[in-house]
Structure 1
Amino acid sequence: MAHRAGSADLPLHGGRVPAWLGERMTRLGTIITEAIVLHYGRDEFLRRLAHPFWFQSFGAVMGMDWHSSGITTSVLGALKRGLSPRAHELGIYVCGGRGAQSRKTPSELIAVAERTGFDGHHLASTSRLVAKVDSAAVQDGFDLYLHGFITTQDGNWVVVQQGMNGERRQARRYHWLSEGLKSFLDSPHAAIEGRGQGLIMNLADARARPSRDAQLELLDNIGPDGIIHELNKINPRVNAEPFAAQMDLPHLIMPMRHEVQEVDVNMRRLHGNLAAAAERGPKDFQELLLVPGVGPRTVSALAMVAEVVHGAPSRFSDPARFSVAHGGKDRHPYPVPIKVYDETIRVMKSAVQKGRLGHQEELLALYRLDEQARRLERYVTGPDLKEIIAGEYNQTRRLGGRSIFGHEIDIEHQSER
């Protein structure tokens, strides 16, 4: 049986992803996807997408606002742009999107099926049913506006969709995974992300089966008019009872504030990442380190990218930590270091391309980097988060820092005037 993997609060943020970041997210997201498929296969990539903590970490390591609902849109958009040209080669197809694009998902799936041979009409029906469950069977105050359907050539799939509550300025993300799914109405979600909002009606919960059966029986026995009559007799103050907790799962709480604080980050793991970059990097990247622009800072970013590729689910309980790899477009925790980001893409692209040809040395170096970080975090210590962020700000001009507010070098010149 598919299971819920967790929940999280996602503040609604307006605005668009700037082109300079969107293009880089597309390239890095595609390369990370290829690395996961090379190491672990397509089905494992689907499992990652269905894990809400990993999904948030994936977006954060690509430079998106670490706590924002916009991660959902930007990650799915980056994957659709990056994987579509490689879909036949990788066997992964990304359909759907936001707003009007979400409503085109069934026709996109049928078009893919015509080229590949799997049952597109079945997947199109599945897409509609999944959307209907989260919009009608789960009435939690969030209106769906985004629907992403990722399927493989084997017919396995994952759905990531998101609803918003404009009054509360919050979003809720829903994750579905086909693996092990036996029913769309007995606790089918891989995950639902969002803060508990009090009483909700979830008829897709396995525990709601008696309610669903009773509703059908009531409809057969007394009809719609009889149901309305019975409802009018109900006294909500007498009959309302607190619902049982919807999920016995860990909750990822995303605050409204923008700044990354130490409470958001597992410092032991962060120190492990940084120490592994300092200790393992020179051994595994000797040739690479001779190239101008690739130094300890790039290897530090690669340590967190390697964790996104290789880390177990328990490693992603603190998605904010992955924003330390490439910063954030809103300058939190610091501006995106363009030079580091581009070198990360170049190194990952080289490793994946050689890996496809059977030369695994660079891919294995990334694996060892992640392995070393996990060993070192048991005992290494280091500066606190404020010091780490301050160090990034000190070198932001040298590393080509950029945000939605512009290039850091230009911002600094403006402040001097």
Structure 2
Amino acid sequence: MGVRVPPFAPSGASMSYEIERATPCRVVVTATIGPEEVRSEREHVLGDWLRGARIDGFRKGKAPRALVERRFANEIRDDLEEHLTRRTWDQVRTDEKLRPASPLGIKESGWLDSGEYKFKGEFDVYPTVTLPPLDGFRAPAFDLEPGEDELAGAIEQLRERQAAWEPVADEPAAEGMLVEAEVDGAFPDGDGEAFHEDRSLFQLGRSEVYPEIEAAVTGKAVGDTVTTERTAGGEGGEEHPAKRVTYKVRIKSLRRKRLPEVDEAFATSIGITGGVEALRERVRERLQASRTERRRDVWREALVTHLADGHTLDLPEGVVRDDTRKELVEFAQALAQRGIDPDQAKVDWEKLEGEMRGRVEQRLRAEVLLDALAESLGIAVSAAEVDHEVEHQAQRLGVPFAELRGNLAKGGGLERVGALLRRERAVDEALEKCAGAGA
């Protein structure tokens, strides 16, 4: 049973409505617009028609009122109903402080003998949030100083990027070596086309080629030719039967990765002067910057948890459903771009949909809470600030600003950018307040 709100009648206007909460995020509104307001609004609508009507024998806007009313009676009535509905819906949203999550869907509408217009409609809304005081929030401890293991790992990554591959002449192929090979493949049962690859590169031990090929090549020397066989397919039943594939692999060269020593020359090679200590300090600063970003993410998550105050917010089902479907479609498109048929992919779509729905719900709840936080802090984002952010995005993507802005404007993207900026500014301000209070 929904909760009914007493009818509201604006001062000086012949309109009343009542709303019912069918669910926490589903609102049913029943409204009645009185004859006086109907007549007033009809005059506005009719005025537009009188100014724009084109009727043979009359100049535009000069046709008699009675003729226009008679000729366009149905169109005028439709416009009047639309105007009355829109004005009433705007009034309901404003007075009840509702945040719609879907358009108003009209279920019933009609004219009464008294000249009143009545309609009943439904729409989804985001939940109303009551936030706890920020005073109770304490950001969790987070160490910004990287440990020695982390520092050593980061330097090792730099060595890997600066590594050189040296030819190996008198040693057999072993794990970690880079193999250059000529590969011929065939289907001995005649159920496939033979293929040839003159220069195939793969590193042993990195699963870059089939295990059968790795096993056959390991222990062999430059100039050796090996053969191996594997069974491909078979997972798709009759539609994709198993096939035998034979490979002939001739090793053309072997190379071993040589990592540079961590010395002054290495530091100089990556643009750092001052030797090994300067290198370590630069890496430490980079790790500290990364940890600072990670700390904000952790604190943001903790802030959202604090704002939830132990409650699980209800969400508009339509938004959850649509966003989940959008993520599923994007996942399927990503598979297709990689050459994988989504219909043939080994994906448990039902399980994936459940996981994506959970992530969507988590994101939406955080957005609702942070929107409420931004409202409580009085945070606003200007159009100029949105344009500034879009300009940064355009630079990162390498596209013209006007093109990106135009594309965003078509699908409500500018509003989403503004909402994102507003939420993140609210997070920063809240964290700053808490830090100033000793959080």
TM-score tier (shorter): under 0.3
Greater relative contact order (Cα < 8 A, sep 6+)? 1
TM-score (norm 1): 0.22
TM-score (norm 2): 0.21
* Structure with higher strand content: 2
